[in-house]
Amino acid sequence: MAKDPVKEALLRDCDVHTFRGSGPGGQHRNVTESAVRLVHRPTGIVVLISQNRSQHRNREEAVEVLLRRLRARARKRKPRVKTRPGKGAVERRLESKVARATVKRTRGRVESE
């Protein structure tokens, strides 16, 4: 793994499990434990990667995914600015309600002679 101090510190906070990945892959996949599961102890985030045949590459990819998830979790959302509909929008909505009510009110049985 690359000597990135952030990733190294992140790996120290994780439980790393390797196992045999399921799915297609034949003989090679059935005998190597190349799938990697990272469990980040402080947050409980679990990342499972089993896309590559190399355990090292899967571990690097799992750390990348975990880092992205942690950054997304730490990102603050902008507060929603409450807005009100404009005067024209309110008038249009009321006009359409009146028109719809008129249509419904004029429905009825046709009197036969």
Alpha helical stretches, state H, the chain: 5-12, 26-31, 55-74, 87-106
Which residue segment(s) compose the domain that 24 sits in?
5-74
The contacts of residue 48 (CB under 8 Å, 6+ apart) are: 35, 36, 37, 62
Burial classification of residue 94, based on how many CB atoms lie within 10 Å of its CB (0-12 exposed, 13-18 middle, 19 or more buried): exposed
Residue 101, in any domain of the structure = no
Q: What percent of the chain has pLDDT over 70?
A: 97
Residue 29, in any domain of the structure = yes
The pLDDT of residue 59 is 93
CB 41 within 8 A of CB 65: no
Residue by residue, pLDDT tens for the chain (113 residues) are 457 888 899 999 999 999 988 777 777 777 888 899 999 999 999 999 998 888 999 999 999 999 999 999 999 999 999 999 999 999 999 999 999 999 999 987 777 77
CATH code of the domain in which 58 resides: 3.30.160.20
